[in-house]
Structure 1
Amino acid sequence: MKQDKKETALVAGGAGFIGSHLCRALLRQGFDVICLDNLLTARRSNLLALEAERGFSFVRGDVVDPLPAVITERGADITRIYNLACAASPPLYQADPEHTMLTNVVGTDRLLRLAERAGARFLLSSTSEVYGDPERHPQSEEYRGSVSCTGPRACYDEGKRAAEAMTFDFARSGRAEVRVARIFNTYGPHMNPDDGRVVSNLVCQALLGLPVTIYGDGSQTRSFCYVEDMVKALMLLMESDIAGDEPVNLGNPEERTIAELLDAIRAQVDREIEVEHRPLPVDDPTRRRPDIGRARALLGWAPETGLAEGLARTVDWFARELARNAPGVTKEEDAPRAAIAV
C-alpha cells in the first residue's frame, strides 16, 4: 500500500486507542495525516511520538461542531477520511449519551459531506455492538441483530446503526465512496487505563495488586483482536477495490470466556489475583464472536497475533504507564473496575 504520490488522510478520533495506531501506520505508508480529536476520552500523550513526524498535524475539534476551518480549507487535498470519532467503552459513552448519539449521527454526516466535497474515500468505524446481545452465533454481516433501542447502551448501539444507514445512503446516491468496518473487541498499547474496557481494567487491577472485578460468572465470551492486526485490516479495507455497499466484520474469530482472559492475564503478571464478582451490566452481550469470512474473501485478511503474544506487549506497556503514575489508577479508590465492554 505504499503511496506513489503524497496523499492526505484525515483521522477523526485519531488521538484515541485505535486511532493513534492508525495515524502512525498511515504515516509509515507515506500519507500526510491530519488527526482530529476533541480529547474528551483520548489522551494527547498517544500522539507524542507522532507530533515530531513530518506530514503529521493535530487539530483539536469536535465532529459534532462544524469542522475546523483548517480542515475544510484543506478539503481538496484530503483523499481518505477515517471516522473513528466516538467513545467506545460503556462507562465513557454512557457518561454523556446525548453527545455519543450526536457524535455518531451529526459527526458522521459532517465527515461524509466533507468526503463528498473532496472526492475522498470514507471509512466508518462501526462496531459489533450493532448486533446487540446476539441470538445468532457467530455473527455474520447479514445478521440484523438484537439491540435494545431504549436501554443505557442505545446511545452507542443505535448511534452506530444510524451512522451505518447514513453512510450507505451516501453511497447509494453516489455522493461518496464508502467502506464500513464492524469492529469487534480490540486491545493493545495506548488503551486508556481507566476507560472501562475489560482488558485494560483487568490488566491494571492485576498489576496494581488489587482485586479484579468480573461481572457475572465470567462465562460470557468475547473475541480479542490485537490492535496492530485491526489497523492493518482497516487500511486494507480502505484501499480495497470492493463495491463498499456492505459492512465488513473485523475481529478475531477465536472466542474466549472472560474467565479464560483472566487466566491469560494471570500468566503474564505472574502473581496471585483475587477476584471480585459483580452483577452483569444492563444489556451486556453474553456471547460475541465474528464471522470474518467476508474479510478473508475480500481483503485476504485474518488476525495474526495470538492472545498470549498480544497480552505480553499490552501488559508491558501498561506496566510502564502505571510506573509513570498514570492519572486515575494510582490509588485504590481510583483504580479501574472491569466492565465487559468493546
Structure 2
Amino acid sequence: MKKVLITGAAGFLGSHLCDRFIKEGMFVIGMDNLITGDMDNIAHLMGHEQFEFVQYDVTKFVHVSGDLDYILHFASPASPIDYLKIPIQTLKVGSLAIHHLLGLAKEKNARLLIASTSEVYGDPTVHPQTEDYWGNVNPVGPRGVYDEAKRFQEAMTMAYHRYHGVETRIVRIFNTYGPRMRMNDGRVLPAFIGQALRGEDITIFGDGSQTRSFCYVDDLVEGIYRLLMSDYVEPVNIGNPDEITIAEFAEEIIKLTGTNQKVVYKDLPVDDPKQRRPDISLAQKVLGWEPKVSRADGLRITYESFKKLPKEKLFRVEHNKFEKYIKK
C-alpha cells in the first residue's frame, strides 16, 4: 500500500484530498495544526484503517517513519481574514514548512505536490491568466503575506527539483468551492450563502463588476490527482474558466436560496483582484483535464451542505481585519 502525507488535512481541500487518496487505496497520514482546520472535516475518517491523523505544526521539522511515496502540501491559511489574523504563520508555512517538506521528500525519494494559487498572478494585467504570466503583485500590501509566501514556495520547490532532483509538481488553484468550506471566512461564496441563510443583506465589496471563476471541489481534486501522477513539473492552472461578475453571482445565490435580501455595496479592499479566470489549455493538453460539474449543480450541493451546519458555525462571525485597509 502506497503512503501519502497530506498537510492541511483538516482543511477544506485537504480533507477532500484525504478522501480521494483513501479511495485510491493509499494509506494517508493527515497532518494539521488546526489553526484554521476543523476536525469535523475528517471526523468520518477517524478510526479508518487507511488513515492516521497527526496534530502538528509543519513549520517545524517534519519526520515520518518508514517509506513515503507522496507528499501534498496544503497547509496554509486560505482566506483574506486569516492573512491578517495570522500573517507570520502564513509566511512561515510558505517558507519554513516547504523547506522541511522538500527535505523530507529528498530523504524519502517521495514525489511532492504543492498547492499554489491564482494569487501568484496578483491583480492581473493579462486575462485570462496563463502559466507563463509572471503576475502583478504588491509584496508589501496586506495580501502580500499570502501572495509572496506562495510565490516563494514555488521558487523553493523548483530549486529543489533542479538542484537536488526531487520530483515535484505545482498546482495553481483558482477559486474553489464545495462542502466543508469554512463559513464566514471572508471568501465570497461562503460569505454570500451564509448571509442568505442568516437572512442578512448580501455584501459586495466594490461595484460588483470584478470577476471570479468558481471550480467545484471534486473537479479540482481530480485535476490535482492527475497532475501528481503526471510527468509534468512546471506550474499548472486548475480551475473553471466559466467567469462571472460578483454582482451576477450574488443574484445567483439569491435565486438559489429563495431569499429576498438586498444587495449592499462597500468599498473595495486594497489590491483586491479585479478579474480572475484561468486559462486551462495546459491542463487540457498535459492532463486531459477539464471541469465537469456545472456551477448550478455545484452550488446546489454546496448550499444543501451549508444548510446542515450547526447554528454555532452558521452564526459565528470572524472579524475581517481587511476592513481597515479598505480605501475610503
For 1:268 and 1:222, locate their aligned partners in 2 and report how far apart those are by CA, in whole Å.
18
**2:9 paired with 1:14:** yes
Shift of 1:294: 0.6
Q: Could you tell me how far apart the structure 2 residues matched to 1:326 and 1:190 are?
A: 15
1:224 aligns with 2:214: yes
Work out the percentage of aligned pairs sharing the same amino acid: 44
The residue matched to 1:27 in structure 2 has which SS?
A: helix
Alignment partners' CA distance in 2, 1:192 and 1:265: 17
**Match for 1:209 among 173, 196, 199?**
199
- Give the whole-Å Cα distance in 1 for the aligned partners of 2:152 and 2:40: 31
Q: How far, CA to CA, are the matches of 1:211 and 1:78 in structure 2? A: 49
Query: In the alignment, is residue 277 of structure 1 matched against residue 265 of structure 2?
Result: yes
Q: Which amino acid aligns with 2:37?
A: A
Q: 1:65 to 1:335 in 2, by over 3 A?
A: closer
Task: State the shift of 1:195 in Å.
Answer: 1.3
Per-residue CA distance 1:158-206 (angstroms, 9 max, x = gap) = 1100000000000101341000000000001000112111100100110
Out of 62, 77, 83, the residue aligned to residue 93 of structure 1 is 83
Give the corresponding residue for 1:330. Answer: 315
Structure 1 Cα separation of the partners of residues 109 and 131 of structure 2: 27
Give the Cα separation in 2 of the matches to 1:299 and 1:287: 25
Q: Is the 8 A contact 2:106 2:164 kept in 1?
A: no
Give 1:319's aligned residue: 307
Residue 44 of structure 2 aligns to a residue in which SS? coil
Do the aligned residues in 2 keep the contact of 1:8 with 1:33 (CA within 8 Å)?
yes
* Residues 1:50 and 1:102: Cα distance change in structure 2 (over 3 Å): same
Amino acid at match of 1:34: I
Distance (whole Å) between structure 2 residues aligned to residue 46 and residue 40 of structure 1: 14
Query: What is the SS of the residue equivalent to 1:49?
Result: helix
1:286 corresponds to = 274
Q: Is residue 37 of structure 2 the alignment partner of residue 29 of structure 1? A: no
8 Å CA contact 1:193–1:336 kept in 2: the answer is no
CA contact (8 A) 1:182 1:247 kept: yes
Q: Which amino acid in the other structure matches residue 39 of structure 2?
A: R
Indicate conservation of the 8 Å contact 1:112/1:170, yes or no: yes
What is the aligned partner in structure 1 of residue 326 from structure 2? none
- Structure 1 residues 37-58: Cα deviation after superposition (integer angstroms, max 9, x where no partner): 0100011100111113211010
- 1:73 shift after superposition: 4.1
Q: How many matched pairs? A: 323
The answer (yes or no) to whether the contact 1:249–1:291 under 8 Å persists in 2 is: yes
Cα displacement (A) at 1:258: 0.7
User: Which residue in the other structure is 1:61 paired with?
Assistant: 56
Equivalent residue number for residue 3 of structure 1 = none
Secondary structure of 1:77 counterpart: coil
Runs (4 or more) in structure 1 with deviation over 2 Å come to 334-337
Which deviates more, 136-145 or 166-175?
166-175
TM-score under structure 1 length normalisation: 0.92
| Kept after mapping to 2: 8 A contact 1:138/1:291 | yes
Counterpart selection for 2:46 from 45, 48, 51:
51
Question: How far off its partner does 1:268 sit?
Answer: 1.3
2:117 pairs with 1:117: no
Separation in structure 1 between the aligned mates of residue 175 and residue 120 of structure 2, nearest angstrom: 13
Please say if residues 113 and 169 of structure 2, whose CA atoms lie closer than 8 Å, have aligned partners that are also in contact.
yes
Tell whether the 8 Å contact from 1:212 to 1:275 is kept in structure 2 after alignment.
yes
Tell me if structure 2 keeps the 8 A contact 1:21–1:231: yes
Give the conservation status (yes or no) of the 8 Å contact 2:123–2:273.
yes
